[in-house]
Amino acid sequence: MKNLIVIAATALTLGACSHQNKTDMADNPFLAPYDTKYEIPPFDKIEYGHYLAALDSGINQKTAQILEITSNPDSATFENTIMPLEHSGEILDRVAAVFFALDESNSSPEMVEIAESFYPKYSQFADEMTMNDDLFARIKTVYDNREGLDPDQKRAVEEYYKQFARNGALLSAEKKEELKAVNTELAELYLTFNKNLLNATNAFSITVSDSTELAGLPASSIAVAAEEAANRGLGEGNWVFTLHAPSRLPLLQYADNRDLRRKMYEGYTTLASDGEYNNLPVINKILQARTKKAELLGFENYGSYMTDNVMAKTIANAEDLLMQIWKPAVARVKNEVAEMQEVANSEGNDFKIAPWDYYYYAEKVRQKKYDLDESKVREYFAVDSVRNGIFTMAEKLYGVKFTEMPDAPKYYPEVTVYDVTDINSGEHVAVFMTDYFPRASKRQGAWMSEFKGSWQNEDGTSSRPIIYNVGNFSRPTADAPALLTLDEVETMFHEFGHGLHGMLSRARLKSQAGTNVDRDFVELPSQIHEHWSMEPELLKIYAHHYKTGEVIPDELIEKLQAASTHNMGFTTAELAGAALLDLQYGKLNTTEDIDIAAFESKVSADLGMPAELTYRYRSPYFKHIFGSDGYASGYYTYLWAEVLDTDGFELFKEKGIFDPETAKKFKENVLEKGGSVDPMELYVNFRGHKPSVDALLRNRGLADAKAVDLSSKSGK
């Protein structure tokens, strides 16, 4: 799932206007198609005052467009109802895409202030649209007469009908008002959760003033900590470590100082749990609002509401899959801990392995068993080399080339922009942007999204997408480029896979293009492309030593492959544990506050979670499920999709990882189709059969688990 340290939005030329409501509308860049190459947002012309003004204009425009649809005296058809709805809201799309992107990746006090109005107003308008009786009546007419439409049109009508029904279109007027109030409350709560999380993350740090406490840490990590201290105005001889992954994880993995590891672990696992930025009260309000929402919409609980609309169909189906993975993962954890304890004992220690020891001793076991030191491995994975790897993969598989556009608009100096073209025809395919390094104004994690999607215009021409990848990867230092960990390498390939899903889309309809697919299918393109990152054929092309230029040696590749399932019990259990915790939240129906820590502990006890680990994300910083609706009762989808991606990649392994025919089948049946076809049908068209969990278990080295047929759980 990822520079200069510059605070807030200083990289943008935001103009002199500081008051967000005083902007000349004639100069607002959101109000017309961008006059830039490929319609890239003109970031240098965007001022804070433009956002809310454009939001109001966008709402007014779309309101008028919907009124035009509903006022049509002709009987509702796909052409006079669905198509104009598909192409409505141009201004709203432009301003929302930019605001959402920069609020996540380049926030500032001004953006936070704007967000407090932007999100609730945006949510309220979405409710107004999906609860518009006249609009829904026309959609229902098309839905009732959908036979005879093209397959993608029929699916689109069905999805529109379902979307409107799931958002309250069938409710009474009184119940609609209640639902609107709940949705507004949730929008505000998500905003508060995310603000608390960003502030809590930035508020925590560990300052080290004794160099002996740095024993064991790689030179690159020490250099980053020294730069962080300097940026904070601390003198030489100080080092600052933060909760951002490039700082936190190396400390946990390499620091010999056990107390230092404990401080970092406890700082992370108590993040946003108390004090000024406490998310526990926010979570309780979210749970209560979700209970109300599920009740209003006629679902047993919120988890049932969220899983009803995806491949899994039920919480039980998702849990069933997870438990097939959880049990062998826990068994593997016990073996891993035993190996680590043996190493700790051999060093003369008299303590039991604790959670803050896991990364550290797992690394020692890896070095002992496989003679593999990741700090040395990283020297072959400079960020530019890895970027060359993802571009080479895309060129060999899908025939696209990436050419840097140095003069293109960008929202931050470290963003790099590429023109994506078809190698054979020279045709423009997409714009791709990368933003890879952490800063205080960026939330943690890694993600993909778009400034513009892909669809077919009414005149038959195609809109080409503008896609971006954001990460929080290890920064360059004064002495070395950004050297990525193996996890960061996989994350870059993962997010690029999402990017390919967006860039290569050829779906006709805007609502079906790119990543507009079932939530538990959307991770297939991202996760399958992770497999290429460690394939010898591609490694020999892109993995070069950052100093010498030496190609990664065969001996090291063999060690990487031998160690590929090392620590997989921990990796799998913390992921599956978080997914199972998420589903337990989805089952709750609560109108009163609960003890969040006690709830987590009970779920852990019921699962038999080993004491040496915890959930990948504890509740106060589980942004996937409490920062929005996005992955609520849906964090399981990473493992659900892994069943698909591991099974699918076995076909590439069988035919050749760059086999043209296999790549063509994946591109045409998965990447290009978007949500225009049922996802299981798309998968079978590519693979030739329905998947089961076998390949996942083989890939993770957990193959002794009983195989489960995933297709029987999809309900499709």
At 105, list the tokens.
């990746």
Answer whether 455's CB lies under 8 Å from 90's CB: no
707 to 89, 333, 385, 694, 699: CA distances (angstroms): 47, 20, 38, 5, 13
At 519, list the tokens.
């939530």
Phi, psi of 466 (to 5 degrees): -120, 110
As beta bridge partners, residue 240 has 207
Answer whether 453's CB lies under 8 Å from 513's CB: yes
CA distance 314 to 330: 24
> Which DSSP state fits 351?
S
CA distance 292 to 304: 13
Q: Which of 207, 203, 220 is nearest to 254 (CA)?
A: 220
CA distance 1 to 644: 17
Contacts of 178 (CB under 8 A, 6+ apart): 292, 296
> Which DSSP state fits 464?
P
Catalytic residue selected from 495, 535, 574, 600: 495
198 to 192, 239, 622, 623: CA distances (angstroms): 10, 22, 12, 10
Strands (E), 457-605: 462-463, 466-470
Q: Which of 637, 664, 669, 641 is nearest to 652 (CA)?
A: 664
Cα angle, residue 120 at apex, residues 25 and 183 outer, rounded to 5° = 150
Q: Can 339 be counted among the known catalytic residues?
A: no
Phi, psi of 266 (to 5 degrees): -70, -35
Per-position DSSP letters for 287-303, written without gaps between them: HHHHHHHHHHTT-SSHH
Catalytic site residues? 495
